Structure 1
Amino acid sequence: MPTTCEIDFENNPLKVIYAGQLLRGTVQLTSTEEKNVRGVYICIHGKAHCYWTEGSGDNRRTYSGDEDYLNERTYFVGGNSGEIRLSPGSYNYSFQCMLPPGLPTSFEGEIGYIRYTARVVLDIPLWPDKSFEVPFTVIKAINLNADPRLKEPAIVEQNKTFSLCCLLCCCSSDPMRIIARTPVGGYAPGQIINLEINVKNESDQPVSEFTVQLIKQINYHTHAGSARQKHETISIIEQDTRGCDVSQEEIIRVNMEVPPIPPTDFDTSNIVKVRYSIRIIGSVACCHNNPVIDLPITIGSYPIQDASPAYAGYPIGYQQSIGYPHPNNIQTDNIISQQPSAPQLTDQSNFSTLPYPSAAPNAPFQFPNEDPPTYEEAVIKGGEGDNFKPKYPMFKRNTSYSSGN
């Protein structure tokens, strides 16, 4: 019978933990035969990685990037020198590791990831090491209440014209005006995005339908500050709704539940950067370009509280949220964005004071009169990930700005 090993997190079967928390766990190692080892240790490791190719044939090039965030090794027995004899039997060990407060959230993508593992290693001299590994989820605490601008409506407007051509000349039609609006600029997974689309169609082109998508935009970098990047755009959710005929006005409302996805974060990792937008695509005749409008939104790991001053009643140590709207110098014609610009990060030195339960993140948070979140596996789209699916907090709550009705 081979050597076996079980790695458990204390009171935490989901293996989900927030950056800045203390990770505790136990190891049960069972060996059926005597072994000589230099040592037995556990390594808590976190890293980002990406890999892609460009071109073909002789012009084919490979690019990759790596960044380590955590590499803590604790020996249960032995060390770096000498040998000890491990007799057959079962061995029980305990471990703990204080996670740094600035860790990025776990992420699995098609060509990259941010991944955390706990790995038990038997360091065997003159022979390949034997190791046992379990992945776990780390969540960066991003409280959307920390930026009061995210409590304001997010609005984008587009005036779309179409070319009218005859034998002698070409001119533009009257505009089709599209205004997209959400009650707030930030949401947490599990909440309902109440999108309103106002259309005034003074053009000569009917819109047969609008397609609404929740878009994840991922930038992969080979290293910090690198100009070599790979971009991915993935539609996580897609809904079709009615269109708007010529010389008509429509108010279209769409409700979209945010699935379990990692928060917006363009700063913490130098390798993997994630942001989100709501994309609205109008379907017109095939000889014309469809109107497309993007409304940037911020995804956090704790939702905006109803009718409350920013940051009131929330635990000390929550990080300021990160918003990533279109930059001010956006070149899209006739676009006006009222989404707030990205705020600066606050000092992260007080993250160790997070009053989350140190063992089980699915235990109630210390927020008065509020249900704790549940944790669900990530929604994987477009070939993302290979096997492990991180779990993210889900807040299924009706509020004045987020309702399924």
Structure 2
Amino acid sequence: MPINCEVHFDSNPAKVVYAGQVLSGTCRLTSTEHLNVRSIFIRIQGTAHAQWQEGTGEKSKTFTGDEDYLNERTYFVNRSTFYAGGETRLLAGSYTYNFQCMLPPGLPTSFEGEFGYIRYFTRVVIDIPLLPDQTFEQLFTVIKAVNLNADPALQAPVIAEKSKTFSPVLLCCFTSSPPMTILARIPVGGYTPGQVINLEINVKNESDQPASKFTIKLIKQVIYYVCENSTRQKHETIPIFEMETRGCDVGKEEDYRVNLEVPSIPPSNFSTSNIIKVKYSIRIIGSVPCFHINPIIDLPITIGTYPIQDITPTATGYPHPTDMAINSVILPPSVSQVFDQNNQLPYSAVPSAPSAPFPIPQDEPPSYMEAMQSATIADSNNLTPKYPMYNQRTSYSNGN
């Protein structure tokens, strides 16, 4: 069928929109022949899907979960006669139709993983008598705004400590050496992509085992469910990136300062989707000789879309330079600064169109970059989600 269809979003070449905004655009149809149609409409849909297998061979079983978030339909031709079987004749040529849809503020952020996804797309359907429907899809990214300032706990330092003792390799010995103690600290618990996490590590090695190195990882943990509150789950642990530092010899004490830039990754999500949940942590692993278990320490962090605006120095003995405060932050296009007590964007806080101006003067708007390590289980029509990147530091910038 000689039909071409293009969907364009208004002033939005990146195809990124925030939950609570109005998604608007145009649909341009071009046909080289005259065409009889029963109806032409566009559907704006959002859905989540999870799928994985357990067991092998004949005992293998597939588990799936699905959840719908959005299903809006706008008719361009023949809504009133669709069910009555009426037809309209379109002459060869081009036709342009407008559409818009208010996105609910609670939509979860777009996500692509090895065992599931959260996707949003437009689907233009041309219902032609006696022939299969002609469909044209266009994916776009939805971002659920996560205001890190809404949770005061995220503005406090995150500190974790672990002491590890090592038993002798010889089984006839039952005494252990003094411990290797690892103390890790980051200045705040919430970050946005593009920001730098300033990690401080203190290692006091009173044990009789040296640590040859320390490996630092940013870990993304994804949990897939078949339905809400299901006990059937699939866990996925993904190292976003890792780096190594020098080790710590027996009887030594070492301090490390490491800068970790957060790449383009989806925000933490443990509330808006019932079948896909995402959380993050910084993991520190000490490498000790074989036959001993490596010490591991985790610092939980929250990834958001709206950076912490100010960090108050605390009396912890750690340095807090003058450039720590973030006094001017940027909101995504047409997202209001007003958040409710549940960290949601109410309808009243959302402008009527994506082209609305920023609510305050903005020095440096975020850029949007494709997700890092975004896996997919779908077809070649997949669109890699894009997330906002901020170029703002949260503490000192010199590390080892």
TM-score, normalising length: structure 2: 0.88
Give the direction of change, closer, same or farther, for the CA distance of 1:115–1:319 in structure 2 (3 Å limit). Answer: farther
Q: Assess if the C-alpha contact under 8 Å between 1:214 and 1:236 holds in 2.
A: yes
Residue 388 of structure 2 corresponds to which residue in structure 1?
393
Q: Assess if the C-alpha contact under 8 Å between 2:148 and 2:306 holds in 1.
A: yes
Q: Assess if the C-alpha contact under 8 Å between 1:365 and 1:372 holds in 2.
A: no
Cα deviation digits, residues 84-141 of structure 1 (max 9, x gap) = 2222110001100000000000000111000000111101233211111111010011
SS at structure 2 position matched to 1:13: coil
One-letter amino acid of the counterpart of residue 260, structure 2: M
Is 2:311 the partner of 1:318? no
Residue 378 of structure 1 corresponds to which residue in structure 2?
371
Residue 137 of structure 2 corresponds to which residue in structure 1?
133
- Alpha-carbon offset, residue 311 of structure 1: 12
CA distance in 2, matches of 1:20, 1:311: 26
Residue 255 of structure 2 corresponds to which residue in structure 1?
251
Q: How many correspondences in the alignment?
A: 375
Is 2:22 the partner of 1:29? no
Residue 239 of structure 1 corresponds to which residue in structure 2?
243
- Share of identical aligned residues, percent? 61
Query: Which one of 326, 346, 370 corresponds to residue 350 of structure 1?
Result: 346
Residue 325 of structure 1 corresponds to which residue in structure 2?
none
Give the direction of change, closer, same or farther, for the CA distance of 1:246–1:358 in structure 2 (3 Å limit). Answer: farther
Residue 45 of structure 1 corresponds to which residue in structure 2?
45
- Alpha-carbon offset, residue 366 of structure 1: 2.8
Residue 11 of structure 2 corresponds to which residue in structure 1?
11
- Alpha-carbon offset, residue 149 of structure 1: 1.3
Cα deviation digits, residues 318-377 of structure 1 (max 9, x gap) = 356xxxxxxxxxxxxxxxxxxxxxxxx35x47244135x8325xx974344542111111
Residue 318 of structure 2 corresponds to which residue in structure 1?
none
- Structure 2 unmatched runs, 5+: 313-324
Q: Assess if the C-alpha contact under 8 Å between 1:364 and 1:371 holds in 2.
A: no
One-letter amino acid of the counterpart of residue 45, structure 2: H
Residue 270 of structure 2 corresponds to which residue in structure 1?
266
Residue 317 of structure 2 corresponds to which residue in structure 1?
none
Q: Assess if the C-alpha contact under 8 Å between 2:310 and 2:327 holds in 1.
A: no
SS at structure 2 position matched to 1:58: helix
Q: Assess if the C-alpha contact under 8 Å between 2:280 and 2:303 holds in 1.
A: yes
One-letter amino acid of the counterpart of residue 113, structure 1: Y
SS at structure 2 position matched to 1:149: helix
Q: Assess if the C-alpha contact under 8 Å between 1:107 and 1:113 holds in 2.
A: yes
Q: Assess if the C-alpha contact under 8 Å between 2:37 and 2:89 holds in 1.
A: yes
Cα deviation digits, residues 259-317 of structure 1 (max 9, x gap) = 11111111100011000000111111111111111110000001101258999998453
With 188-197 and 117-126 compared, the bigger mean Cα shift is at 117-126
Query: Which one of 98, 104, 119 corresponds to residue 102 of structure 2?
Result: 98
Q: Assess if the C-alpha contact under 8 Å between 2:328 and 2:362 holds in 1.
A: no
Instruction: Please show how residues 4-403 of structure 1 align to structure 2 within 5 Å.
Output: 4-79=4-79, 80-81=82-83, 82-166=86-170, 168-307=172-311, 315-318=336-339, 345=342, 348=344, 350-355=346-351, 358-359=353-354, 365-380=358-373, 383-384=375-376, 387-399=382-394, 401=395, 403=397
One-letter amino acid of the counterpart of residue 318, structure 1: F
Residue 328 of structure 1 corresponds to which residue in structure 2?
none
CA distance in 2, matches of 1:126, 1:221: 40
One-letter amino acid of the counterpart of residue 303, structure 1: P
CA distance in 2, matches of 1:72, 1:243: 57
One-letter amino acid of the counterpart of residue 182, structure 1: I
One-letter amino acid of the counterpart of residue 3, structure 1: I
Q: Assess if the C-alpha contact under 8 Å between 1:209 and 1:240 holds in 2.
A: yes
SS at structure 1 position matched to 2:154: helix
Q: Assess if the C-alpha contact under 8 Å between 1:105 and 1:114 holds in 2.
A: yes
- Alpha-carbon offset, residue 37 of structure 1: 1.6
Residue 320 of structure 2 corresponds to which residue in structure 1?
none
CA distance in 2, matches of 1:172, 1:371: 55
TM-score, normalising length: structure 1: 0.87
One-letter amino acid of the counterpart of residue 366, structure 1: P
Give the direction of change, closer, same or farther, for the CA distance of 1:384–1:42 in structure 2 (3 Å limit). Answer: closer
With 365-374 and 218-227 compared, the bigger mean Cα shift is at 365-374
One-letter amino acid of the counterpart of residue 142, structure 2: V
Residue 331 of structure 1 corresponds to which residue in structure 2?
none
CA distance in 2, matches of 1:147, 1:228: 30
Q: Assess if the C-alpha contact under 8 Å between 1:51 and 1:111 holds in 2.
A: yes
Give the direction of change, closer, same or farther, for the CA distance of 1:307–1:202 in structure 2 (3 Å limit). Answer: closer
One-letter amino acid of the counterpart of residue 192, structure 1: V
CA distance in 2, matches of 1:241, 1:96: 52
